[in-house]
Amino acid sequence: MNVPMSPERAAKPGARPPAGLLDHRPSVWTVVALLCFLLLLPPVLKALGEDFYVGVASRVLVYALAAASLNLILGWGGMVSFGHAAFVGLGAYAAGIAMSSLGWMSAWVTWPLAALVGGVAALAVGAISLRTQGVYFIMITLAFAQMLYFLMVSLKTWGGDDGLSLPGRATVGGGIDLSSDVHFYYVVVGVVSLAFWLLHRLVNARFGHTLQAIRENEGRMLALGVPVYRVKLVAFVLAGALAGLAGALSANQNSFVSPSMMQWSQSGMLMVMVILGGVGHFWGPLVGAAVFLLLEEVLVAYTIHWQLGLGAVLLAVVLLAPNGLMSLLGRARQLLRQRALRQEAQQRVAREVV
C-alpha cells in the first residue's frame, strides 16, 4: 500500500534534497555575507587608514587554503599527516624557480605548475605512507617532509638555507597589477573562493561521502568492496595539489621562498589552525587561520613570547570547545532550536487549556 508523504517531507520540484549526515552544506546567506565582507574589506581598511591589514588578510586567506587542504585528509579522511607543509613548500619552490630561473612570470603557468608539483609529490608520498596506519602514518609523513626539507637546504643553486628571492609577483593580465596589495588580495579572494567551492562540491559528492565513511569504519568499507586505498590516495593527492597552490600564493605575496616553509613546525601550525577552527567543519580552516594569525598580530605587539598567549587560547578552546570554535556556533544554534521548541510546546499547552 502506498503511504502518501506529509507536506513537510514532500520534495518540491527542483528543490535541493535535504542534507544528510555526511553532507557539509554552508548556508547561502553565510556565503553571501562572507563574500561581501571580503570584497568590502580593502576600502573599509583604507578609510580607517589601516592599509597594512590588507596584506594580513591575504596571508589569512592563503593559510586558510593550506589548512583547508589539510582538513580534507584530516577532518574528512581521518589521516593525521605531520608532513603537509612539505607540499606547501614544494609548490612555493616550483613557482619560485619557474619565475626566477626560467623567467615564467605568468600566474596562469606558475600557479597550476605549483599545484601539479604538490599533487605529484603527494602521489609519491601517499603511495607509500597510506600503506601504514596510526602512528606509523604520522611518522612516515613527518620523515618524508624532513627529507624534502633537508634536500632543499642542501641545494645551494636555489639558495639553500638562505632561501630563494623572487624577481617580483606574477602577472595575470587584464590590467591587474599584483604588485599592488589590494589587487593581489582580490586575486587571492578569487582563487581561495574557487578552491572552497571545489571542496564543497567534492565533500558533498559520492567521493566525499565515501571518504568520510572510510574515516568512520575502514574495515566495514573494505568488506563492502570499496577501494579504500585508492580513495584515500586520491584525497591525499588533491590535498597536496591545493597545498601546492597555497605555497605559490605565499611565495608571490612574500616574493621569497625558504626551506623553513617545509619544516615539521609549519605542519604543526596548519594542524593547530584546523583544530582551532574545528576538524571536519567546512569553515573550520578559515576560522582557525583567522584566529591564529590575528592573535599572533595582536600578541606580537605586546610581547615577544606571543606563543605563550596563543597556547593559552588554544588550551581554552580545547577545554571549552573540544570540536573547535565552529562547534560553539553549532551548540548555540541547537540551544536556540531547543528554546523555540520549548516555547512552541508551552504555547500549544496554553491553547489547549483555554
Per residue in 28-76, pLDDT (tens digit) is 888 899 999 999 999 999 999 888 899 999 999 999 999 999 999 999 9
What is the arithmetic mean of pLDDT over 129-136? 91
Q: Is residue 275 part of a domain?
A: no
Percentage of residues of the chain with pLDDT beyond 90: 59
C-alpha cell at 279: 576538524
Helical pair 228-254 and 85-100, crossing angle rounded to 10 deg: 50
What is the arithmetic mean of pLDDT over 195-215? 92
Cβ–Cβ < 8 Å for 325, 107: no
List the domain range (segments joined by +) for residue 103: 58-263
pLDDT of residue 23: 67
Lowest mean pLDDT among 143-147, 209-213, 313-317: 313-317
Q: Is residue 75 part of a domain?
A: yes
Question: At 3, is the pLDDT very low, low, confident or very high (cuts 50, 70, 90)?
Answer: very low
Q: How would you classify the pairing of strands 164-165 and 256-257? A: antiparallel
The reported pTM is 0.87
Q: Is residue 282 part of a domain?
A: no
pLDDT of residue 5: 45
Question: In this model, does residue 354 exceed pLDDT 80?
Answer: no
Question: In this model, does residue 133 exceed pLDDT 90?
Answer: no
pLDDT in tens, 245-269: 999 999 999 999 999 999 888 999 9
Question: At 160, is the pLDDT very low, low, confident or very high (cuts 50, 70, 90)?
Answer: confident
Q: Is residue 268 part of a domain?
A: no
More confident residue, 350 or 254: 254
pLDDT of residue 350: 66
How many angstroms separate the CA atoms of 247 and 92, rounded? 4
Question: In this model, does residue 26 exceed pLDDT 90?
Answer: no
Question: In this model, does residue 7 exceed pLDDT 50?
Answer: no
Q: Is residue 3 part of a domain?
A: no
pLDDT in tens, 325-346: 887 776 666 666 667 667 776 6
C-alpha cell at 31: 556565503
Q: Is residue 77 part of a domain?
A: yes
Q: Is 155 left (phi over 0), alpha (psi -120 to 50) or beta?
A: beta
Contacts of 7 by beta carbon, 8 Å cutoff, 6+ apart: none
pLDDT of residue 19: 55
What is the arithmetic mean of pLDDT over 118-129? 96
How many angstroms separate the CA atoms of 309 and 294, rounded? 12
Q: Is residue 41 part of a domain?
A: no
What is the arithmetic mean of pLDDT over 88-117? 94
More confident residue, 38 or 309: 38
Question: At 312, is the pLDDT very low, low, confident or very high (cuts 50, 70, 90)?
Answer: confident
Lowest mean pLDDT among 26-30, 191-195, 222-226, 238-242: 26-30
Q: Is residue 29 part of a domain?
A: no
How far CA 324 is from CA of 13, 285, 311, in Å, comes to 37, 10, 14
How many angstroms separate the CA atoms of 102 and 57, rounded? 30
Instruction: Tell me what the pLDDT averaged over the chain comes to.
Output: 87
pLDDT of residue 13: 47
pLDDT of residue 1: 41
C-alpha cell at 30: 553565510
Say how many domains are in the chain: 1
pLDDT of residue 353: 66
Cβ–Cβ < 8 Å for 26, 201: no
